[in-house]
Protein backbone atom coordinates (compact mmCIF):
# COMPACT_ATOMS: atom_id res chain seq x y z
CA UNK A 1 0.00 0.00 0.00
CA UNK A 2 1.30 3.43 -0.97
CA UNK A 3 1.74 5.98 1.81
CA UNK A 4 1.38 9.69 1.06
CA UNK A 5 2.29 10.69 4.61
CA UNK A 6 0.33 10.51 7.84
CA UNK A 7 -1.94 13.49 7.12
CA UNK A 8 -3.03 12.42 3.64
CA UNK A 9 -3.21 8.73 4.57
CA UNK A 10 -5.63 9.55 7.39
CA UNK A 11 -7.79 11.78 5.19
CA UNK A 12 -7.92 9.23 2.37
CA UNK A 13 -8.96 6.45 4.76
CA UNK A 14 -11.69 8.72 6.09
CA UNK A 15 -12.95 9.48 2.58
CA UNK A 16 -12.85 5.80 1.63
CA UNK A 17 -15.01 4.87 4.62
CA UNK A 18 -17.33 7.82 4.05
CA UNK A 19 -17.74 6.92 0.39
CA UNK A 20 -18.47 3.25 1.06
CA UNK A 21 -21.08 4.09 3.70
CA UNK A 22 -22.74 6.75 1.56
CA UNK A 23 -22.91 4.65 -1.60
CA UNK A 24 -24.24 1.61 0.27
CA UNK A 25 -27.41 3.44 1.34
CA UNK A 26 -27.84 6.23 -1.24
CA UNK A 27 -30.44 5.43 -3.92
CA UNK A 28 -29.90 8.53 -6.06
CA UNK A 29 -26.90 7.91 -8.33
CA UNK A 30 -26.13 11.63 -8.45
CA UNK A 31 -25.64 11.61 -4.68
CA UNK A 32 -23.28 8.62 -4.70
CA UNK A 33 -19.57 9.49 -4.51
CA UNK A 34 -18.50 6.57 -6.73
CA UNK A 35 -14.88 6.96 -5.68
CA UNK A 36 -12.05 4.95 -7.17
CA UNK A 37 -11.11 1.72 -5.49
CA UNK A 38 -7.84 2.11 -3.59
CA UNK A 39 -5.83 -0.16 -5.95
CA UNK A 40 -6.93 1.92 -8.96
CA UNK A 41 -6.04 5.16 -7.19
CA UNK A 42 -2.59 3.79 -6.33
CA UNK A 43 -2.01 2.62 -9.92
CA UNK A 44 -2.92 6.05 -11.31
CA UNK A 45 -0.62 7.69 -8.75
CA UNK A 46 2.27 5.47 -9.87
CA UNK A 47 1.54 5.98 -13.57
CA UNK A 48 1.59 9.75 -13.18
CA UNK A 49 4.79 9.65 -11.13
CA UNK A 50 6.84 7.31 -13.30
CA UNK A 51 5.74 8.93 -16.57
CA UNK A 52 6.37 12.40 -15.12
CA UNK A 53 3.03 13.90 -16.07
CA UNK A 54 2.80 17.65 -15.46
CA UNK A 55 -0.51 18.88 -16.90
CA UNK A 56 -3.47 16.68 -16.02
CA UNK A 57 -7.19 17.03 -16.70
CA UNK A 58 -9.63 15.05 -14.57
CA UNK A 59 -13.23 14.72 -15.71
CA UNK A 60 -15.38 13.83 -12.70
CA UNK A 61 -14.15 15.28 -9.40
CA UNK A 62 -16.91 13.97 -7.11
CA UNK A 63 -15.84 14.65 -3.50
CA UNK A 64 -12.18 14.98 -4.46
CA UNK A 65 -10.87 11.54 -3.50
CA UNK A 66 -9.19 10.82 -6.84
CA UNK A 67 -8.24 14.49 -7.19
CA UNK A 68 -6.17 14.25 -4.00
CA UNK A 69 -4.29 11.23 -5.38
CA UNK A 70 -3.58 13.00 -8.68
CA UNK A 71 -2.53 16.28 -7.04
CA UNK A 72 -0.24 14.36 -4.68
CA UNK A 73 1.38 12.61 -7.67
CA UNK A 74 2.12 15.98 -9.27
CA UNK A 75 3.60 17.65 -6.20
CA UNK A 76 7.21 16.96 -7.16
CA UNK A 77 6.90 18.61 -10.59
CA UNK A 78 7.55 22.35 -10.67
CA UNK A 79 4.80 24.16 -12.52
CA UNK A 80 2.53 21.10 -12.64
CA UNK A 81 -1.17 21.80 -13.14
CA UNK A 82 -4.32 19.82 -12.40
CA UNK A 83 -7.69 20.88 -13.77
CA UNK A 84 -10.70 18.93 -12.51
CA UNK A 85 -14.26 19.24 -13.82
CA UNK A 86 -17.35 18.51 -11.71
CA UNK A 87 -20.91 18.93 -12.92
CA UNK A 88 -22.65 19.01 -9.50
CA UNK A 89 -22.08 22.12 -7.33
CA UNK A 90 -22.59 20.23 -4.06
CA UNK A 91 -19.89 17.72 -4.95
CA UNK A 92 -17.57 20.50 -6.10
CA UNK A 93 -18.06 22.17 -2.71
CA UNK A 94 -17.18 18.91 -0.93
CA UNK A 95 -14.10 18.51 -3.13
CA UNK A 96 -12.92 22.03 -2.30
CA UNK A 97 -13.22 21.31 1.43
CA UNK A 98 -11.38 18.01 1.11
CA UNK A 99 -8.62 19.51 -1.02
CA UNK A 100 -8.19 22.29 1.53
CA UNK A 101 -7.91 19.70 4.30
CA UNK A 102 -5.30 17.88 2.21
CA UNK A 103 -3.32 21.10 1.74
CA UNK A 104 -3.67 20.76 -2.02
CA UNK A 105 -6.35 23.33 -2.88
CA UNK A 106 -3.87 25.75 -4.42
CA UNK A 107 -2.62 23.05 -6.81
CA UNK A 108 -6.04 22.30 -8.35
CA UNK A 109 -8.22 24.37 -10.65
CA UNK A 110 -11.73 23.07 -9.99
CA UNK A 111 -14.18 23.91 -12.76
CA UNK A 112 -17.94 23.46 -12.37
CA UNK A 113 -20.04 22.42 -15.36
CA UNK A 114 -20.61 19.65 -17.88
CA UNK A 115 -17.30 18.55 -19.36
CA UNK A 116 -18.68 18.73 -22.90
CA UNK A 117 -19.46 22.42 -22.36
CA UNK A 118 -16.25 23.16 -20.45
CA UNK A 119 -13.78 21.37 -22.75
CA UNK A 120 -13.73 23.92 -25.62
CA UNK A 121 -12.65 26.68 -23.24
CA UNK A 122 -9.81 24.79 -21.60
CA UNK A 123 -6.35 26.03 -22.46
CA UNK A 124 -4.19 22.90 -22.42
CA UNK A 125 -1.99 21.29 -23.53
CA UNK A 126 -2.65 18.27 -21.30
CA UNK A 127 -0.27 15.33 -21.05
CA UNK A 128 -2.85 13.20 -19.23
CA UNK A 129 -6.64 13.03 -19.13
CA UNK A 130 -8.51 10.91 -16.63
CA UNK A 131 -12.12 10.16 -17.60
CA UNK A 132 -14.18 9.24 -14.54
CA UNK A 133 -17.63 10.67 -15.13
CA UNK A 134 -20.22 10.18 -17.87
CA UNK A 135 -18.81 7.36 -19.96
CA UNK A 136 -21.34 7.85 -22.78
CA UNK A 137 -20.25 11.43 -23.50
CA UNK A 138 -16.52 10.68 -23.11
CA UNK A 139 -15.92 10.17 -26.87
CA UNK A 140 -17.39 13.58 -27.76
CA UNK A 141 -15.37 15.19 -24.96
CA UNK A 142 -12.18 13.56 -26.22
CA UNK A 143 -12.88 14.79 -29.76
CA UNK A 144 -13.08 18.34 -28.40
CA UNK A 145 -9.87 17.84 -26.42
CA UNK A 146 -7.74 16.28 -29.19
CA UNK A 147 -6.21 19.64 -30.24
CA UNK A 148 -5.33 20.29 -26.60
CA UNK A 149 -3.31 17.08 -26.07
CA UNK A 150 0.45 17.00 -25.86
CA UNK A 151 2.26 14.71 -28.27
CA UNK A 152 3.22 12.36 -25.42
CA UNK A 153 -0.21 11.95 -23.80
CA UNK A 154 -1.68 9.37 -21.45
CA UNK A 155 -5.44 8.74 -21.49
CA UNK A 156 -7.06 6.91 -18.58
CA UNK A 157 -10.69 5.83 -18.20
CA UNK A 158 -12.23 4.05 -15.23
CA UNK A 159 -15.13 1.55 -15.22
CA UNK A 160 -13.91 -0.27 -18.33
CA UNK A 161 -14.98 -3.64 -16.87
CA UNK A 162 -17.92 -2.61 -14.69
CA UNK A 163 -19.71 -0.70 -17.49
CA UNK A 164 -18.44 -2.25 -20.75
CA UNK A 165 -21.42 -1.22 -22.87
CA UNK A 166 -21.31 2.41 -21.74
CA UNK A 167 -17.58 2.75 -22.35
CA UNK A 168 -17.45 0.77 -25.60
CA UNK A 169 -17.76 3.83 -27.87
CA UNK A 170 -14.92 5.55 -25.99
CA UNK A 171 -12.70 2.47 -26.25
CA UNK A 172 -13.43 2.08 -29.96
CA UNK A 173 -12.66 5.75 -30.63
CA UNK A 174 -9.40 5.78 -28.66
CA UNK A 175 -8.15 2.50 -30.06
CA UNK A 176 -8.58 3.80 -33.62
CA UNK A 177 -6.56 6.95 -33.00
CA UNK A 178 -3.20 6.86 -34.82
CA UNK A 179 -0.08 6.36 -32.74
CA UNK A 180 -1.78 5.12 -29.56
CA UNK A 181 -1.07 1.86 -27.77
CA UNK A 182 -3.92 0.69 -25.54
CA UNK A 183 -4.56 -1.85 -22.83
CA UNK A 184 -7.19 -2.67 -20.24
CA UNK A 185 -6.01 -3.35 -16.70
CA UNK A 186 -8.27 -5.52 -14.49
CA UNK A 187 -7.79 -3.41 -11.37
CA UNK A 188 -10.80 -2.09 -9.45
CA UNK A 189 -13.63 -1.62 -11.95
CA UNK A 190 -11.24 -1.81 -14.88
CA UNK A 191 -8.84 0.91 -16.02
CA UNK A 192 -8.43 1.56 -19.75
CA UNK A 193 -5.03 3.03 -20.64
CA UNK A 194 -3.98 4.64 -23.90
CA UNK A 195 -0.56 6.20 -24.53
CA UNK A 196 0.60 8.07 -27.59
CA UNK A 197 4.29 7.67 -28.16
CA UNK A 198 6.34 10.79 -28.67
Q: Are 89 and 112 in contact (CB under 8 A)?
A: yes
Judged against a pLDDT cut of 90, whether residue 75 lies above it is answered with no
Cα 103 to chain centroid, rounded: 19
pLDDT for 135 equals 87
Judged against a pLDDT cut of 90, whether residue 183 lies above it is answered with yes
Judged against a pLDDT cut of 90, whether residue 147 lies above it is answered with yes
Reduced to 3 states (helix: H, G, I; strand: E, B; else coil), residue 151 is strand
Which domains are assigned to the chain?
Answer: 6-196 (3.40.50.150)
pTM for the full predicted model? 0.96
Give the ranges where the chain is alpha helix by DSSP (H): 6-25, 38-50, 65-74, 89-102, 115-118, 138-145, 164-175
**pLDDT band for position 83 (50/70/90)?**
very high
What is the tens place of the pLDDT at every residue in 3-34?
999 999 999 999 999 999 999 999 999 999 99
Judged against a pLDDT cut of 90, whether residue 178 lies above it is answered with yes
**pLDDT band for position 39 (50/70/90)?**
very high
What is the tens place of the pLDDT at every residue in 89-145?
999 999 999 999 999 999 999 999 999 999 999 999 999 999 999 889 999 999 999
pLDDT for 77 equals 79
Each as own residue / partner, the long-range contacts of residues 169-174 (CB below 8 Å, 24 or more positions apart, any chain) are: 169/136, 169/138, 169/139, 170/131, 170/135, 170/138, 170/139, 170/142, 173/139, 173/142, 173/143, 174/142
Please state the φ and ψ torsions of residue 187, each to the nearest 5 degrees: -115, 140
Amino acid sequence: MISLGAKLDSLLRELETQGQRNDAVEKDRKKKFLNLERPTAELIYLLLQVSRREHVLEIGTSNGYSTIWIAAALQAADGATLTSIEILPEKAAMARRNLARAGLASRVELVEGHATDVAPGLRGPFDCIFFDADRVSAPSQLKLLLPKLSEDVLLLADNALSHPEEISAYKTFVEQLPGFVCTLTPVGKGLHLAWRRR
